[in-house]
Chains A and B, each alone.
Chain A
Amino acid sequence: MKSPVYSLMIAAVLLAGCKSSGEPKPSESCPGFEEAGSTSKLEQVKVRYLDGPDVRVAQMRCVASDDLLRIDVDIINERPQEQRIAYRFEWFESNGMSVDNEEAWKPLLLYPDQVKTIRTVSPGADAQDFRLVIKR
């Protein structure tokens, strides 16, 4: 008598499970994720460190809207002291050619152990891929 109810409940749980596992992780919307295969490998490809800053990228999120790519990158200061770094994004067309606009280095103060989110948006519709460069 109760078996149809239990069956429905189990089916509902399974469906819910399928739905949650089907949602993309934040970094999966970033260009190059399919080639990289995982979030950690994506960060290895997308982030370049110059002169050994003591920081680490914790997470990367990408959203495409109105032909522009919006990007959030969470940076962790791995020092228990303040740290001053500079960063900039480099932009590329879909064929790998670099986009003309070379960004300025942006200074950034990180408090001890702080997680800071860097936000940016692509400079135009032709900028479809990016690389984040962080330097001390």
Chain B
Amino acid sequence: MHIRIVGWSWLVVAVLALGVVGGCSKQVRYGDPKSVETVNLDFGSTDLQVIAEAMTRSLLQSPMVAQGSRPIVTVQDVKNKTSEYIDTRAITDSIRAELLKSGRVRFAVDAAGMDEQIDELERQQSEYYDETQSAEIGNMVAAQYRLQGSIISIVKENDRIKDVYYKFNLQLWNVRNGLLEWSDEKDIRKTES
């Protein structure tokens, strides 16, 4: 009789434990990658997407791009002047992808990709390649314009509210004469209370 009671109690504990574990397990679902993300105040996917889109559309209307000569541009760094880690390369990659899709801008290899480009050019000079099909050294096309920018943030908080203001600035510089040909800004305010 005593053994039977002990056996039942273990069974009840096991069922309860399973219920608790089952209740705590997290559900995984796919979401909309373009939806408005407000998990916390940190720089997020919506900020990245909104900034990239605003800069791209503005640049498409600039005289340098709108005149249809398909200028050659290289992408330089966007300086992160905020207090948090932001992969600014992800922003410029999105801008570059959208501009390329528009068919109105061409991109020259940038500083970040230069080592890989030189390595490939030098590799093609080896005896393993048909030299009539190999890319010759000295034919790379230089950029006419360079894109660079910065992102800053102003953070303020009190006991009840935390406010973050981001300002993203992008500039298109003429490499030959050093003139600033286009610039635009996008600002974002987020508040947590």
Q: Taking beta carbons and an 8 Å cutoff, which residues of A are in contact with B? A: 65-68, 70, 86, 88, 100-107, 120-121, 123-125
Specify which chain A residues have a CB less than 8 angstroms from the CB of B36 in the assembled complex: 86, 105-107
With both chains docked as a complex, state the minimum distance between the C-beta of B62 and any C-beta of chain A, in angstroms: 10
Q: In this assembly, does B53 line the interface, its C-beta being within 8 Å of a C-beta of chain A?
A: yes
With both chains docked as a complex, state the minimum distance between the C-beta of B80 and any C-beta of chain A, in angstroms: 21
Q: In this assembly, does B29 line the interface, its C-beta being within 8 Å of a C-beta of chain A?
A: no
Main SS at interface, chain A: loop
Q: In the complex, A100 Cα to B100 Cα: how many Å?
A: 12
B66 in contact with A66 (CB, 8 Å): yes
Q: In this assembly, does B102 line the interface, its C-beta being within 8 Å of a C-beta of chain A?
A: yes
Specify which chain A residues have a CB less than 8 angstroms from the CB of B103 in the assembled complex: 124-125
Closest to A104 in B: B49
Closest to B46 in A: A104
Specify which chain A residues have a CB less than 8 angstroms from the CB of B49 in the assembled complex: 104
Closest to B63 in A: A66
Residue of B46, B50, B60, B67 with highest tally of chain A CB at under 10 A: B60
Selected from B56, B66, B67, the residue in CB contact (under 8 A) with A123 is: B56
A105 in contact with B35 (CB, 8 Å): yes
Knowing A66-B66, A101-B101, A123-B102, the reply to whether A88 touches B60 (Cβ < 8 A) is no
- Which residues of B from 46 to 77 have beta carbons under 8 Å from A? 46, 49-50, 53, 56-57, 60-61, 66-68
Q: In this assembly, does B110 line the interface, its C-beta being within 8 Å of a C-beta of chain A?
A: no
Selected from B46, B61, B101, the residue in CB contact (under 8 A) with A68 is: B61
Q: Taking beta carbons and an 8 Å cutoff, which residues of B are in contact with A? A: 32, 34-36, 46, 49-50, 53, 56-57, 60-61, 66-68, 98, 101-104
Specify which chain B residues have a CB less than 8 angstroms from the CB of A66 in the assembled complex: 61, 66-68
Knowing A66-B66, A121-B61, A124-B103, the reply to whether A101 touches B34 (Cβ < 8 A) is no
Specify which chain B residues have a CB less than 8 angstroms from the CB of A124 in the assembled complex: 60, 101-104
Closest to A123 in B: B102
With both chains docked as a complex, state the minimum distance between the C-beta of B191 and any C-beta of chain A, in angstroms: 10
Q: In the complex, A8 Cα to B61 Cα: how many Å?
A: 46
Selected from B34, B67, B102, the residue in CB contact (under 8 A) with A103 is: B34
Q: In the complex, A120 Cα to B67 Cα: how many Å?
A: 19
Selected from B32, B61, B98, the residue in CB contact (under 8 A) with A101 is: B98
With both chains docked as a complex, state the minimum distance between the C-beta of B68 and any C-beta of chain A, in angstroms: 8
A102 in contact with B66 (CB, 8 Å): no
Selected from A100, A102, A105, A120, the residue in CB contact (under 8 A) with B46 is: A105
B57 in contact with A120 (CB, 8 Å): yes
Q: In the complex, A36 Cα to B11 Cα: how many Å?
A: 70
Specify which chain B residues have a CB less than 8 angstroms from the CB of A123 in the assembled complex: 56-57, 60, 98, 101-102
Q: In the complex, A65 Cα to B68 Cα: how many Å?
A: 12
